[in-house]
Chains A and B, each alone.
Chain A
Amino acid sequence: MGANPFHTPPPAGDTQLRPPINLQSRRMRLNTVRRYVVNHLVTVLAVLSTVIVIVPLIAILAYLVYMGATSLNLAFFTKIPAPVGMPGGGMANGIVGSGIVLGLCSLMGIPVGIAAGVYLAEFGRGKPLAGAIRFTADVLNGVPSIVMGLAIYSLVVMRQHHFSAFAGGVALAIMMVPTITRTTEEMLATVPHSIREAALGLGVPKWRTVLSVSLKTAAPGIITGCMLAFARVAGETAPLLFTAFGNQFWSFKLTEPIAALPLQIFVYAMSPYDEWHRLAWAGSLVLIVMIMVAVTLVRIYAARGMLKGAS
């Protein structure tokens, strides 16, 4: 055999090859033990923290569902709040009011949000302006909702000298726009460029390509994104505090204060009346169910691999 300078020949008379350093030294053994102990410790900690987090959260959810379910009855959906001290009554005006305000905000927010998302995905690719818009939308998503309420109060309520469902709708709409913009952009980005090219190659103008090919292909994901934004905004209380303001009675006019489910939950929770507390729980359950439906739908959709999730 040619001389290999790196090969230390085994000691004579030894049939086994011993490594040059003593891996069995006490120090090394202790170190290895320590490392494995640390490894196990960390595993325990990670599992423990998950348990600490998950179990109480499940408990909260279960408690909410339980309290809400026991408080929920048909009257909840059909009656407006009874005078204090009298049993019965419901939050029907809150549900309808929420519906009206949410309808308004969707009407205003969804088209603008989708259009902004279309701009980012179809027209702005690579342009610095698009990057700035994207970043600003993300940052806007983190602004406290009460600030939106303040701003719309100053713009609409002060000018009109009264609270209104319309103002509530605007406040929620400006909250929806950044969220929907980002989810729309993400969904449009999943549309393969090859089918856009196919349409353009056929002589279809760009605007028609965007509408009939890009948007149509990404439609299910975009709709899901809108649903999520809707669910998020449906539970918002702070922006409505000084815009829609709340109303103890039926109200269908856009220019008057209007009841909203989260608002009523807040007011009733802080009140000293048991009957109102019961209504607050029931209202919370309705909200949670709606949100669970939206999140579950997104999950199902994500399982088909198209949407990358949004909260």
Chain B
Amino acid sequence: MGVGINVEHLNAWYGTTHTLQDINLNIPANHATALIGPSGCGKSTFVRCLNRMHETNPIARATGVVRMGDIDIYKDAQPVQIRRRVGMVFQRPNPFPTMSIYDNVASGLKLNGFRNRAVLDETVERSLKSAALWEEVKDDLKKKSGASLSGGQQQRMCIARALAVDPEVLLMDEPASALDPVSTSKIEDLIFQLKSQYTIVIVTHNMQQAARVAENTGFFLNGKMVEFDSTHKIFTNPKDKRTEDYITGRFG
């Protein structure tokens, strides 16, 4: 089951650039939350703060409180532990080129020392089914390399890989932006199914996508979170004028 995330006074910097300014937000468990906004407004930085990937950049810095369940992910836990509980799917599929499909999906477990072959087999199958990729690759699991699949398949495999470690939260940074429409719709269906088991945060440029899959939506602009509300509210009756301008296409 998923877990909720509570963000208070989150600020983030890249070097001297103040990328995120005082973000306050409540991401409910077992729901899909979309984050929209123009390019460069800090959405990606924000999700990267949720699984402590932001700090992998040597010039990056973050302050504030991010609570997952009842622990502060910055103070009460190590980054590695958090990342095992919060999965991430990136904008461009990034399969491990030297590993087979099986090894790719199982990598989160194998690279952490998990050896039980039976559980691994079952997990790989389960994750690939969750990612709606099982039927297409089940005969080539160990024969084909992860990089030999098509773009859409690779991204679904990356989703399967993220799911295999059984996270509580799934972060998706524009997961379908590099894909063709058919793959995109498959992935949207996926998200729709998965949100009953995981908390999903999806960053997207595509407002229709946000409207289709997410119950709540947050609008980011220039490093600030302008408005956060149910998707229906945001798209039909936004409170802030800037939100309305973005929705109706005045900019972005």
A interface with B by C-beta (< 8 Å): 125-126, 192, 194-195, 197-205, 208-209, 212-213, 216-217, 219
Q: How far is the CA of A248 from the CA of B108 in the complex (A)?
A: 57
Chain B: minimal CB distance from A212 (Å): 5
- Contacting A at CB under 8 A, from B207-248, are none
Q: How far is the CA of A209 from the CA of B88 in the complex (A)?
A: 16
Chain A: minimal CB distance from B232 (Å): 31
For B94, give its contact among A125, A198, A219 (CB under 8 Å): A198
A202 and B94 contact, Cβ closer than 8 Å, known pairs A197-B56, A208-B111, A212-B111: no
A198 adjacent to B83 (CB under 8 Å): no
B53 adjacent to A197 (CB under 8 Å): yes
A201 and B51 contact, Cβ closer than 8 Å, known pairs A194-B90, A217-B96: yes
Q: How far is the CA of A195 from the CA of B111 in the complex (A)?
A: 14
A204 and B87 contact, Cβ closer than 8 Å, known pairs A126-B58, A197-B56, A199-B107: no
- Contacting A at CB under 8 A, from B43-96, are 51, 53, 56, 58-59, 80-85, 87-88, 90, 92, 94-96
B interface with A by C-beta (< 8 Å): 51, 53, 56, 58-59, 80-85, 87-88, 90, 92, 94-98, 107-108, 111-112, 158, 161-162, 165
- Smallest Cβ-Cβ distance to A198: which chain B residue: B94
A213 adjacent to B88 (CB under 8 Å): no
B84 adjacent to A203 (CB under 8 Å): yes
Q: How far is the CA of A46 from the CA of B88 in the complex (A)?
A: 56
Q: How far is the CA of A273 from the CA of B107 in the complex (A)?
A: 64
A199 and B111 contact, Cβ closer than 8 Å, known pairs A126-B58, A194-B90, A205-B80: yes
A201 adjacent to B88 (CB under 8 Å): yes
Which residues of A have CB within 8 Å of B98? 216-217, 219
Q: Can you name 17 extra interface pairs (CB under 8 A) apart from A200-B56, A217-B98?
A: A194-B90, A197-B90, A197-B94, A198-B90, A198-B161, A201-B88, A201-B162, A202-B107, A202-B111, A203-B84, A203-B108, A203-B112, A204-B80, A205-B80, A209-B111, A212-B111, A213-B111
